[in-house]
Amino acid sequence: MKNILIAENAGFCFGVKRAMNMAWNELDKTDNVSIYALGPLIHNSQAVAKYEERGMVTVATIEDIEKIEADKSISGKPINNSKEMIIRSHGVSKTVYDEAKEKNIPIIDTTCPFVRKIHYLANKCYEDGKQLIVIGDKNHPEIIGINGWSSHSAIIAKNLEEIKNISFESNKEYFIVAQTTMNEKEFDAIISHIRSLNIRVEVENTICSATRVRQESARDLAQRVELMIVIGGRHSSNTQKLVKICQDTVDTFSIETKDDLDKDLLSKYNTIGITAGASTPDWIIDDVIGFLSEL
């Protein structure tokens, strides 16, 4: 029998759990309202599918909502009396709130409180005339949203190499925040380099505490096993950072569900560690544990 160890901190974080509960409660109480999610509710397609089966419709833009509603009218399909739009835990730009208000679309705001704090800091930085620097992935929805609270004027860098390519100006004041799922060690290395440049800079470490604990837990477990299995969405930033952390220490498999596991590949490992990203539901983790327990 395989020896299976579970990371002390794995799976849903507070922000994701809060968003999922808010969205589900809204679906439960509003049968006569069309519920739209602006972007995938979380970066886990299996979990999102359960909400869409319940009636939630995932869209990319507010214009998509208007188009769907207009198509209902043209086709003669039953039209609900009203509609609501869920803002997911990653958060969005200020302009999205303005557009929703202008078009009279009520919002269910599930933005993670940790992300909302960064929105406030970004907006204040912009109003104070400082140059915002965001350490993170420029294509990630969280970063796009944060940049939108500084009128899309932020400098965005993903790693130390990109930071080194930036020409800093001595007459500017800089303010630094981080993507909530940023790797703590990478962030520390970036800040150490920036502080060595002798520029005026203020730093706010906005890495989520749950992210920090989850990464440390994965790093610790990886040192005690022969293989790490990281469960989470392919497009989940925090999951992929867990993968990188584990890969630095031990053989690591990145999977979304138990169906991605290969019994033959697993046969040579006796002690297996499991961790999971912040958007991974308990039932998916349990499925993986059950699969491994039967080997």
By residue range, what is the domain housing residue 265?
A: 3-12+210-293
Domain's final residue, options 207, 233, 252: 207
The pLDDT of residue 237 is above 90: no
- Residue 264: its H or E element: helix 263-266
The full DSSP string for 4-54 is EEE-SS-S--HHHHHHHHHHHHHHHH-TTEEEEEES-SSS-HHHHHHHHHH
Total domains present in the chain:
3
pLDDT attached to residue 63: 95
Q: In this model, does residue 242 exceed pLDDT 60?
A: yes
Q: What is the pLDDT of residue 217?
A: 95
Instruction: Indicate the SS3 state at residue 110.
Output: coil
Q: Report the pLDDT averaged over residues 145-166.
A: 96
149 with 167, same domain?
yes
Boundary (domain end) residue, out of 78, 93, 109: 109
Beta strands, E only, the chain: 3-6, 33-38, 57-59, 82-87, 107-109, 131-135, 155-157, 173-178, 200-203, 227-231, 251-255, 271-276
Per-residue pLDDT of 172-208, as tens digits, reads 999 999 999 998 899 999 999 999 998 999 999 999 9
pLDDT tens readout for residues 15-25? 999 999 999 99
Question: Does 79 lie in the same domain as 44?
Answer: yes
Q: Could you list the active site residues?
A: 142
Same domain, 164 and 202: yes
**First-to-last CA distance in the chain?**
7
Tell me what pLDDT residue 52 has: 94
Residue 266 shares a structural domain with residue 232: yes
Contacts of 289 by beta carbon, 8 Å cutoff, 6+ apart: 4, 6, 274
Per residue in 55-108, pLDDT (tens digit) is 999 999 999 999 988 887 665 555 555 899 999 999 999 999 999 999 999 999
Residue 132 has what pLDDT? 98
What pLDDT sits at residue 74? Answer: 61
